[in-house]
């Protein structure tokens, strides 16, 4: 469930909850607010939909929550309330189950729940709106801001330099700043611990939402990020961690002896029987190296492998024939079914095409003579790619990215006779990665 809130409605807030609700069981949430803690005001509500509802109480500084749990006709079935969230004006107040209602909730200025959030703020190229609007659900928040927006300005964290003492000096700054003008903020939260895969999942969800906005409003809604940060919130009261990955690329020494194979490879590139496919694979290789997302890196490297495998298979003069194609062709010839000839040809052409793992196997064997330990990983990598495209999984591990990258590098180096150069580079010093954590603590406001 998703709701659209105006600026006034968002000042009051959006409330939702997580609960186990057996048949007939009900959870009702009531809210009330006041200017002073001793003021006795009326309760507003109830909200009984787990997906959430707009808060009816006025946006006053002191807030209270009342929870009513009721069984159905079966006395053995009881509702179990896990979490209540009350979000308003960019802060999410969380009550962790019934044991948490005896004290004030902790204000979480960015995250929407316990878990990892990713937020991106950008200024559209050619899009305007007259009123502040919020689109909100249990896992995603989209805010169309009027005026300035605050965020963490992260600069300078690009590389880490080794010191004579053997440690690494990292320069950069993280400071809160304000950006003027109308902006769009997209935030998504994924439950879980603060690890690489959960952060990747949260970022992937944000990128999907931005794509949905572009689909609805065109490229006019897109723009370069003003702020982009991760956010981890937990019940200990911390607001979260903004994690800044830093890469240290060890210096490469280039001389005439090292670069001479590159000159020879330039001659081989246009003369290869699959030169177009090799060129395409090289472009996707660069795209994979440049991508920030693990999923984007994996897909880019895999498309490079697909280009090489399909390009080679298309050059085979005596192409193998699948037995399924022969069987279907015999059936059409013998049974003469009442089927349109064009539809028959399309069906036969689809059956005639070999699956990608078989194309890859034929290509690899043509270059290396037999399958190897690395190449035997391709079927599982191909399944992983299909699961990503079909949405059954949403993230990949660094090890899986390295596996598909290694296959692409080995095949490209074979095409150009650069095996020794590439193998030497792969076995040399590796990329060093650092993660800097910037932790902000919540401000302790008096809450009713």
Q: Residue 405, CB half-sphere, CA atoms under 13 Å: how many?
A: 20
What is d(CA 84, CA 46) in angstroms, rounded to the nearest whole number? 14
- Do 292 and 147 share a structural domain? no
Using one digit for the tens of pLDDT, what is the confidence trace for 388-414?
988 888 889 889 999 999 999 999 999
Residues 141 and 271 in one domain: no
77 DSSP assignment = -
Length of the chain: 448
Looking at the structure, do residues 327 and 228 belong to the same domain, yes or no?
no
Same domain, 146 and 54: no
Q: Are residues 377 and 363 in the same domain?
A: yes
Q: Are 188 and 113 in contact (CB under 8 A)?
A: no
Boundary (domain end) residue, out of 79, 109, 139? 109
> How far apart, in whole angstroms, are the C-alpha atoms of residue 263 and residue 29?
72
Of 92-106, 157-171, 227-241, highest mean pLDDT:
157-171
Among 109, 134, 163, give the residue marking a domain's end: 109
Token pair of 53, please? 């509802």
Are residues 280 and 417 part of one domain? yes
- Which domain range does residue 99 map to? 1-109
At 323, the pLDDT band (50, 70, 90 cuts) reads: low
Residue 221 near residue 186 (C-beta atoms within 8 A): no
Which residues have C-beta within 8 Å of that of residue 285, sequence separation ≥ 6?
Answer: 300, 301, 304, 408, 409, 412
- On whether both 35 and 56 belong to a single domain, the answer is yes
Sheet holding 115-122: strands in order across?
3-6, 133-136, 140-145, 183-190, 115-122, 225-233
Q: Are residues 273 and 402 in the same domain?
A: yes
Mean pLDDT of 259-274: 90
Is residue 67 domain-shared with residue 197, that is, in the same domain? no
pLDDT in tens, 133-149: 999 888 899 999 988 88
d(CA 106, CA 87): 12
What tens digit of pLDDT does each residue of 147-196 get? 888 887 888 887 888 788 877 788 888 888 888 889 999 999 888 888 88
Q: What is the pLDDT of residue 448?
A: 33
Cα–Cα distance measured from residue 388 to residue 203, given in angstroms and rounded to the nearest whole number: 15
How far apart (Å, rounded) are the C-alpha atoms in residues 381 and 309?
14
415 and 440 housed in the same domain: no
Token pair for 84: 């209540």
Distance (Å, rounded) from C-alpha 11 to C-alpha 13? Answer: 5
Q: What is the pLDDT of residues 282-301, one digit of tens each?
A: 999 999 998 888 899 999 99
Strands 225-233 and 115-122: antiparallel
Q: What percent of the chain has pLDDT over 70?
A: 84
The total domain count for the chain is 3
Residue where a domain stops, chosen among 94, 109, 124: 109
Q: 52: part of which helix (H) or strand (E)?
A: none
Q: State the CB neighbour count (10 A cutoff) for residue 206.
A: 22
How far is the CA of 209 from the CAs of 118, 140, 142, 240, 308, in angstroms? 12, 8, 9, 22, 32
Report helix, strand or coil for 198: helix
d(CA 162, CA 241): 25
Indicate if 412 and 316 belong to the same structural domain. Answer: yes
Among candidate residues 114, 386, 339, the one with its CA nearest the CA of residue 105: 114
What is the model's pLDDT at position 444?
36
Are 134 and 246 part of one and the same domain? yes
In this prediction, residues 423-432 reach a mean pLDDT of: 76
């Amino acid at each position: 469930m998703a709701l659209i809130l105006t600026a006034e409605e968002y000042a009051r807030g959006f409330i939702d909850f997580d609960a186990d609700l057996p048949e007939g069981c009900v959870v009702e949430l009531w809210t009330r607010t006041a200017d002073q803690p001793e003021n006795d005001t009326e309760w507003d509500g109830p909200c009984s939909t787990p997906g959430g509802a707009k808060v009816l109480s006025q946006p006053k500084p002191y807030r209270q929550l009342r929870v009513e749990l009721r069984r159905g006709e079966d006395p053995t079935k009881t509702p179990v309330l896990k979490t209540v969230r009350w979000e308003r004006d960019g802060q999410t107040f969380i009550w962790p189950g019934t044991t948490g209602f005896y004290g004030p909730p902790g204000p979480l200025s960015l995250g929407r729940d316990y878990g990892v959030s990713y937020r991106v703020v950008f200024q559209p190229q050619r899009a305007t709106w007259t009123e502040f609007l919020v689109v909100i659900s249990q896992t995603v928040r989209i805010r169309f801001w009027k005026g300035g927006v605050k965020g963490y300005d992260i600069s300078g964290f690009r590389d880490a330099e080794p010191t004579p003492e053997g440690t690494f000096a990292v320069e950069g700054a993280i400071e809160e700043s304000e950006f003027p003008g109308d902006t769009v903020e997209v935030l998504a939260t994924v439950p879980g611990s603060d690890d690489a895969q959960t952060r990747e999942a949260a970022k992937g969800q944000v990128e999907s939402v931005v794509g949905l906005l572009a689909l609805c409003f065109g490229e006019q809604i897109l723009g370069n990020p003003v702020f982009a940060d991760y956010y981890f919130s937990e019940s200990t009261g911390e607001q979260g961690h903004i994690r800044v990955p830093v890469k240290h690329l060890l210096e490469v020494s280039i001389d005439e002896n090292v670069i001479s194979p590159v000159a020879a490879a330039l001659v081989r590139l246009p003369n290869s029987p699959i030169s177009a496919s090799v060129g395409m694979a090289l472009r996707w290789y660069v795209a994979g190296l440049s991508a920030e997302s693990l999923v984007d890196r994996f897909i880019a490297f895999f498309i490079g492998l697909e280009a090489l495998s399909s390009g080679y298979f298309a050059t085979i003069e005596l192409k193998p024939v699948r037995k399924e194609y022969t069987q279907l062709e015999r059936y059409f010839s013998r049974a003469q079914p009442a089927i349109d000839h064009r539809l028959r040809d399309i069906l036969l052409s689809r059956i005639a095409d070999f699956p990608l793992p078989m194309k890859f196997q034929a290509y690899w064997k043509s270059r290396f003579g037999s399958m190897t330990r690395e190449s035997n990983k391709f079927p599982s990598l191909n399944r992983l790619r299909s699961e990503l495209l079909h949405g059954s999984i949403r993230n990949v591990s660094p090890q899986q990215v390295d596996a598909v990258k290694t296959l692409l590098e080995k095949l490209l180096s074979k095409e150009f006779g650069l095996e020794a150069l590439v193998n030497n580079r792969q076995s040399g010093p590796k990329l060093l990665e650092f993660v800097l954590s910037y932790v902000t603590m919540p401000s302790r406001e008096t809450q009713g």
